[in-house]
Structure 1
Amino acid sequence: MSAEIDRRTGPAEAPRSLVRFAVVTVLTGVGAGIGGMALALLLHAIQHVAYGYSVAHMISTESFLEGVTDTVPLRRLLVLTVCGLIAGFGWWALYRFGRPLVSIRQAVKSDNPRMPGVSTTIHALLQIITVAMGSPLGREVAPREIGSVWAAWLAQRAGLSVRDRQIMVACGAGAGLAAVYNVPLGGAVFVLEVLLCTFDWAVVVPALATSAIAAVVAWIGLGNEHQYQVPQFTLTAQLMVSSVVCGPLFGLAAYGFTRLTSRARALAPKDWRLPVLTILNFAVIGLLAMSWPQLLGNGKGPAGLSFDSHLTVGLAAILLVLKVVITSSSLRSGAEGGLLTPGIAIGALFALVIAGLLNQIWPGMQPGAFAIVGAAAFLAASMQMPITAVVLILEFTRVNHDLLIPILLAVGGSVSTLKLAARWFPLPFVPAKRPVGAVSIERTA
């Protein structure tokens, strides 16, 4: 166990029961898997009904991007306006009448690691509903919250020590991530690198176990699906050199994006202004989506198009600018959600623009391959989790091993650049009282 957790819990902790801990570990994985699967199925069902595609199937071969592109533009505007209504009045009512939310990071650090079950569940459902209807924010926070709430309740009922309850809350979050995205290793590494900041074997074992169990359980309803289908890329001199040279550019972009989104969250209202701003914000997004349906959703669509090299440089540049703007404006209006998939999309679009320019100087660059490199570099820096970002990108895309070299080179450059920029110009402080899932000034949990 890390020295940090030991200092918090103190040396007087009674020896834990390995049997009870093992049982809670297994049940945490099972519960997080069921929760993540249920949230993903709910997301698909709402998407199909809202945009009128593949209504008879929760899981279909037709993607969300294909569904929203095929629907009439006016429907996109109407759905996004309704999304703003639900987001605004939903979160306003939660803040007004619900119990105060406790973030996963706060629960992990607390001597009483518990999260309010009803309020956290409503918070998670609002994120899933709004993302399904077209919110540009990510859906990954919701399954992490559900997994952590379940793990905290189990650990409390089992009478585990404070230290073990903290571990299980973190493992529940990683298992939820693993379930909804089918990334068992990524979920475990997220627990170790981001939430608990230790690779001690006493944490590694439950983190790996819960994430693996959750991913397998989620296969029951979601199947063993991959997030992105990408072609096989070859390692070229252009890709290697560009990854080294452009890594710092992704770090600078991530620094700017982090400042922008942190500031937006800090200024988000929780009073009567919240529904007003969210309705206005999502109505504007709906208007933009009438011309650019790729903007709808968490960013999986444009990221996939970037990896497949199916976007022109001009369209990628337009989507890049608009994606940054609507992501920040949604946070500023008071909407909640993650930044994982939006970060992947922004990094991929930025890389596609750079690749188009570099090909004018040194032809031969594979835009799709560089988009994957850029997605990893931007995600690693913007969320300050380099190892987790690399693992997630590898599990999302299943790219060949050779592409790992340029990814690591670009990630190293981007993270180092962000750290230097943050040292010279510190990131803005975001109050700790924000709702669960908000961005930390040190690391996004």
Structure 2
Amino acid sequence: MKFHWSTLRIYERLIVWVGQKLSRNQFILFSAVLVGLSAGIAAIVLKTAVHYVRRVILLLAEHDWQNMAYILGPLLGIVSTVAYVKYGLKGDSEKGVASVLYAIKKKFSLVTPHKMYSQLISSSITVGLGGSAGLESPIVVTGAAIGSNYGRVYRLIHKERTLMLACGAAAGIAAVFNAPVAGVIFALEAIMTEATISAFIPIIIASVSGALVSMIVLNEEILFSYKEALLFDYHNVPLYILFSILTGIMSVNYGRMSWKINLWNQKADKKPWWRAVRGGLFLAILIFIFPSLFGEGYESITELMHGNAERLYDASFFARFIDKSWAVLLFIGLTGFIKVVATSITVSSGGNGGNFAPSLFVGAYIGFFFSRLVNMLGIADLNETNFVIAGMAGLLSGIMYTPLTGIFLIAELTGGYDLMIPIMLVSAVSYAIARSFERYPVDKRALMESLSEEENAAEPS
């Protein structure tokens, strides 16, 4: 391909020069490294930004302004995100994995350039100030945008551009979680569902590059500690089967509630400002009652894995009036059930975030609720951490319709490869139940139904 050298920046000239010295396949692998490193750096920026925004909220909490921070934080986050989209992005509010799939199917894998940075800004504001959503969806869009626009600048063909888009998405997930295997599987399972064997190597290289740069810069260990977990006990298989059915039911409930809340919030008021204020206030009330709904909620998952559910209860509104014991169990179960409401209100009111982290949150809480209930009833002596881990895999598989991602992500996050059998069992059953009730995951439902209607309308009568 011929380039107008005078219009290229110095680093672009260097990449073009390297491309001219390499074969086509070698240049694709070289490009995968660059896209992976770029997406990894984007993930670092996002995690760092959210960290420092959260520090402001925690600083307020240390000065006995915790309740005020919980009330004003989510409200300010959603309203600020709406303002940024309206004035900074001229109303371009496309977000989520569905926007990436739409670009692949309808835009020749061309993602709007501003999504290389706008998703980082809007999601860090929303989640950093307390929005009850995850950062994984925004980083997937950011990584996909980086890969897509890399392909556009260097004039890759449609197939190669789609591959770079998937490389960016894989690297984003890998960098956020320090989980390169899960990044690869997510890209193949959720983005490039019809990928060929030749696409595996570039995606693997991009995922490793993204995870590596994140590990080097942030120096983070695995997200959740697994020290308290025990080896899998095959005598508990019947209970794991029962639990997997529960996770499937909860996944269906999550998807349907999220869909209905989103529809209701969009129809209730067409004015984005009022919708943002109303949603922010409602979210603030939920967080005031259930403090662990604040932000992504990974800290509370860690508490559950360490068996410290009482700490979460002591920080709640109910601890002032009700003693512990069964109240702690009911509080954990109710928090897990309410999370879908908080997340749906956050996103549908104008905030930016996804269902990835919330699905892990709900799975952890349901896993703890189930195992603690069995223990309190004297049915068996279950290790609660093991069910927290299996629950995260089950809900992620049933909500996102990505069972392989659920299995390997949780194994990588926790180091819990000794629990692969129950993780696989719970993930498979949960996914099968969810898929039997709903054809599409909630994140992709609107897009897939719209595309299906277009295909039906195009068919000759």
User: Which interval holds the TM-score relative to the shorter structure?
Assistant: 0.7 to 0.9
Q: What CA deviation, in whole Å up to 9, does each residue of 1:372-404 have, x standing for no partner?
A: 1111111101110000111111111112x3211
SS in 2 for 1:235: coil
Match of 2:51 in 1: 44
CA distance in 2, matches of 1:246, 1:148: 35
CA distance in 1, matches of 2:62, 2:286: 13
Contact 1:238–1:362 (8 Å) recurs in 2: no
- The partner residue of 1:117 within 113, 116, 122 is 113
Q: Tell me the TM-score normalised to structure 2 length.
A: 0.80
CA distance in 2, matches of 1:144, 1:162: 19
The 5 A counterparts of 1:3-22 are 17-22=24-29
> Which amino acid in the other structure matches residue 374 of structure 1?
G
SS in 1 for 2:413: helix
Match of 1:135 in 2: 131
- The partner residue of 1:349 within 365, 368, 385 is 365
> Which amino acid in the other structure matches residue 304 of structure 1?
T
Does structure 1 residue 282 correspond to structure 2 residue 284? no
Counterparts in 2 of 1:228 and 1:177: CA distance versus 1, 3 Å: same
CA distance in 1, matches of 2:424, 2:446: 33
User: Which one has the largest radius of gyration?
Assistant: 2
Q: Tell me the TM-score normalised to structure 1 length.
A: 0.83
Contact 1:183–1:396 (8 Å) recurs in 2: yes
Alpha-carbon RMSD: 2.8
Residue 426 of structure 1: how far off its partner (Å)? 10
Residue 272 of structure 1: how far off its partner (Å)? 5.6
Counterparts in 2 of 1:181 and 1:103: CA distance versus 1, 3 Å: same
> Which amino acid in the other structure matches residue 406 of structure 1?
P
Residue 46 of structure 1: how far off its partner (Å)? 1.1
SS in 2 for 1:432: helix
Aligned length: 404
Residue 96 of structure 1: how far off its partner (Å)? 4.6
Residue 52 of structure 1: how far off its partner (Å)? 1.5
Match of 2:425 in 1: 409
Judge which range, 225-234 or 40-49, deviates more.
225-234
CA distance in 1, matches of 2:75, 2:246: 36
Q: What CA deviation, in whole Å up to 9, does each residue of 1:171-228 have, x standing for no partner?
A: 1111111112211111111011111124632111011100000111112321132211
Contact 1:344–1:375 (8 Å) recurs in 2: yes
- The partner residue of 1:148 within 144, 147, 165 is 144
Gaps spanning 5+ residues in structure 2: where? 1-22, 310-327, 450-461
> Which amino acid in the other structure matches residue 419 of structure 2?
L
Contact 2:229–2:383 (8 Å) recurs in 1: no
Match of 1:215 in 2: 211
The 5 A counterparts of 1:319-330 are 319-330=335-346
Residue 97 of structure 1: how far off its partner (Å)? 4.1
Q: When you count helix as a share of all residues, which structure comes out higher?
A: 2
Residue 281 of structure 1: how far off its partner (Å)? 2.1
Q: What CA deviation, in whole Å up to 9, does each residue of 1:315-349 have, x standing for no partner?
A: 21231233222122223323231111100111111
> Which amino acid in the other structure matches residue 202 of structure 2?
P
The 5 A counterparts of 1:11-410 are 17-52=24-59, 72-93=66-87, 96-98=90-92, 103-110=99-106, 112-118=108-114, 121-198=117-194, 200-230=196-226, 231-237=228-234, 239-269=236-266, 273-311=271-309, 312-359=328-375, 360-399=377-416, 401-410=417-426
Contact 1:268–1:332 (8 Å) recurs in 2: yes
Share of identical aligned residues, percent? 23
> Which amino acid in the other structure matches residue 171 of structure 1?
C
Does structure 1 residue 419 correspond to structure 2 residue 419? no
Residue 433 of structure 1: how far off its partner (Å)? 10
Gaps spanning 5+ residues in structure 1: where? 1-15, 54-66, 435-445
Judge which range, 343-352 or 121-130, deviates more.
121-130
